[in-house]
Amino acid sequence: MSSSSENFRSREFPMTEEDYQFLRQLAGRETGIELSEAKREMVYSRLVRRIRSLGLMDFAGYRHYLEKNKHLELTHFVNAITTNLTSFFREGHHFEALRTTLLPEIIKQNAQRRSLRIWSAGCSTGEEPYSLAMTLQDSGLCKGWDAKILATDVDSNVLAHATAGQYGREKIQGLPQDLQQRHFVRTEREEMVQVDPRISAWVTFRQLNLLHEWPMSGPFDIIFCRNVVIYFSKDTQRQLFDRFASLMAVGGYLCIGHSETLHGITDRFESLGRTIYRKRF
């Protein structure tokens, strides 16, 4: 046995090799997230609080509890293993491209039906879809249009935060002053700000596991799925991007995260550079 797994056995709550392999498989099956050997420490620290609060003795006890209370406990488990790092206008070039190229193009393409559908898939605590809404609002291009942003995530905790639309002031500190003033309002708590209701009105939040059935019929004009598939296997990525393509209008745009690529995964999109793609077929 490796010294690292010895290490996990001698902790406050012992986690054996078998426990870790069980949790790895469950995470992969339920969310597509492939936990590598290097994620042992992370899994331990994220689940240990839960094990303590349930009054259990070890990870074997937690496995047993999970199996007996699958439906309820799975939500806690999934919430614990997702990584939710995000920020307003993260990877800013996507929002710049949206304003200067993607939106004007789509507006031209959809001029007849005057409707626009955007999906933020894996929206975490909401900074991404709200940044999309701020870009739409500031562009002034969608006035009088039926324009909507759907924002989804598998994690119920981050969705609750996203729907509330309240953030610590430090989260918006790096944004231009005029943008802060236009799109955020004060709250009763000095240290918090709230997304302006004119911005949140563009966005609908829903819980959705990307591995499950999707209730939406589309077509979407723009999909942002950034920093989500990074831990998915190539096969899961291929299936997901194929499903995205099938739910998009031809000429629709897909933006993915900076360390992700469609190269060698699917040819249903053409690359426009800087992790922006256009649906070919």
Marked catalytic residue, from 153, 155, 196, 221: 153
Cβ contact 279:248 at 8 Å: yes
Q: β-strand 166-168 against 192-195: which pairing, if any? A: antiparallel
Using the contact rule CB under 6 A, the part of the chain among 76-84, 183-191, 248-256, 262-270 near ligand SAM is 76-84
Instruction: Give the count of alpha carbons within 13 A of 247, CB side only.
Output: 20
Give how many residues touch ligand SAM by CB under 6 A: 24
Residues in CB range of 70: below 8 A, 6 or more apart: none
Using rule CB under 6 A, residue 257 touches ligand SAM: yes
Using rule CB under 6 A, residue 213 touches ligand SAM: no
Q: Tokens representing 69?
A: 């209370």
Using the contact rule CB under 6 A, the part of the chain among 4-12, 101-109, 122-130, 160-168 near ligand SAM is 122-130
Q: From CA 167, how far away is CA 200, in angstroms rounded?
A: 13
Q: β-strand 184-186 against 248-256: which pairing, if any? A: unpaired
Using rule CB under 6 A, residue 32 touches ligand SAM: yes
- Known catalytic membership, residue 46: yes
- Ramachandran bin of 87, using left for φ above 0, alpha for ψ from -120 to 50, beta for the remaining angles: beta
Q: Identify residues 149-208 at the interface with ligand SAM (CB under 6 A).
A: 153-155, 158
Using rule CB under 6 A, residue 90 touches ligand SAM: yes
Q: Tokens representing 94?
A: 């996507």
In the complex, the smallest distance separating the C-beta of residue 18 from ligand SAM, rounded to whole angstroms, is: 25
Cβ contact 120:88 at 8 Å: no
Exactly one of 5, 84, 163, 194 binds ligand SAM (CB under 6 A); which one?
Answer: 84
Among residues 86 and 110, whose Cβ is nearest to ligand SAM?
Answer: 86
Exactly one of 122, 126, 165, 252 binds ligand SAM (CB under 6 A); which one?
Answer: 122
Among residues 110 and 135, whose Cβ is nearest to ligand SAM?
Answer: 135
Using rule CB under 6 A, residue 131 touches ligand SAM: no
Using rule CB under 6 A, residue 31 touches ligand SAM: yes
Q: Tokens representing 172?
A: 């918006």
Helix 40-53 with 59-68: angle, nearest 10 deg: 70
Q: Identify residues 215-244 at the interface with ligand SAM (CB under 6 A).
A: 226-228
Nearest Cα neighbor of 145 from 169, 181, 118 is: 118
Q: From CA 19, how far away is CA 40, in angstroms rounded?
A: 11
Q: Tokens representing 11?
A: 């902790």
Residue 238 burial (C-beta neighbours within 10 Å; 0-12, 13-18, 19+): middle
Q: What is the CA radius of gyration of the chain?
A: 21
Among residues 13 and 88, whose Cβ is nearest to ligand SAM?
Answer: 88
In the complex, the smallest distance separating the C-beta of residue 177 from ligand SAM, rounded to whole angstroms, is: 23
Marked catalytic residue, from 9, 46, 50, 169: 46
Among residues 75 and 166, whose Cβ is nearest to ligand SAM?
Answer: 75
- Known catalytic membership, residue 278: no
Active site residues: 46, 153
Q: Which residues contact ligand SAM (rule: CB under 6 A)?
A: 31-33, 82-86, 90, 122-124, 128, 153-155, 158, 209-211, 226-228, 257
